[in-house]
Amino acid sequence: MDDKGVKFVIGIYEDEDVLLDAISSVRAKGVNIYEVYSPFPVHGIESRLGYKRSRLSIAAFCFGFLGTCLALTMMIGMTTIDWPMIIGGKDFLPLPVFIPVTFEMTVLLSAFGMVGTFFVISDLKPWGKPKTFDLRSTDDKHVMAIEIEKNNMSEAALKKLLKSNGASEANSKLMDE
């Protein structure tokens, strides 16, 4: 392993309650936490980490609106403008008939758009490389990662801080960015 990359200190936690308290006390020391990984959803972890609310719902609305517009444009373009046809004695623009397809397209695009957006922002995109600080975070351990450069504490001091807050291990790891 060469020396290129970013250096992290990672703390391993066994219990989620210890982890939650540790997050609070580490942040109270002014330490900037890079990310916390856990094998299952931990209730209330976002507010402890001070995360702002996800903007995923805004993306969902935009994609949904796009779906509405696309569906209406497609149907009106085809059956009203391009090749007007009378179906079932209805107008050339039978709006109620278009609603189910519009609804489906709205739901489809907002769902797909949301999944896609989520993959991109959380590094799960096909060309992305998800960061795994410790493989045990996919099994039964919680992992707290702290970027050394972003904090004005030494590596040893950070390790000591994590240990004093209930971490069962405190390691350092080099990740290539």
Partner 1 sequence: MKDIFDFNIGIKKNLLYLFFGGLILSIIGVFQLINSGHGHEESTEIVNAYISDDGHSEFHWYKRLYSNLWINVVYFLGISISAIFFVAIQYVSQSGWSAGILRVPLAIGRWLLPGSVLMLIVFAITNHDIFHWTHEYLYDKSDPRYDYVIDGKKAYLNLPFFLGRMVFFLGIWYLFYALILKHVAKEDKFGGTESWKKLFTISTVFVVIYAFTQSVAAWDWVLSIDTHWFSTMFGWYVFASWWVSALALITYMIITLKDNGYLSFINHSVIHDLGKFVFAFSVFWTYIWFSQFLLIYYANIPEETIYYVERLESDFYFPFFIVNLVLNFFFPFFFLMTRASKRFTRFLKVACPMILFGHFIDFYLMVTPGVLKENGGFGFLEIGVLMVFLSAFLYVILSGLTKLPLVAKNHPMLEESLHHDI
Q: Which residues bind partner 1 (CB under 8 A)?
A: 43-44, 53, 57, 61, 88-90, 96-97, 99-100
- Judged by CB, which is closer to partner 1: 117, or 137? 117
Question: From the CB of 107, what's the least distance to partner 1, in Å?
Answer: 12
* Token pair belonging to 22: 């540790």
Residue (91 or 123) nearer to partner 1, CB: 91
Least CB distance to partner 1 at residue 72 (A) = 16
Cβ closer to partner 1: 78 or 95?
95
Phi, psi of 166 (to 5 degrees): 100, 5
Min. distance of Cβ 61 from partner 1 in angstroms? 8
- Strand extents, DSSP E, 14-163: 33-37, 142-147
Minimum CB distance to partner 1, residue 143 (Å): 24
Q: Are 123 and 116 in contact (CB under 8 A)?
A: no
Task: List CB contacts of 22: < 8 A, sequence separation 6 or more.
Answer: 11, 13, 144, 162, 165, 166, 167
With respect to partner 1, which residue has the nearer C-beta, 20 or 167?
A: 20
Residue 94 Rama label (left phi>0; alpha psi -120 to 50; beta): beta
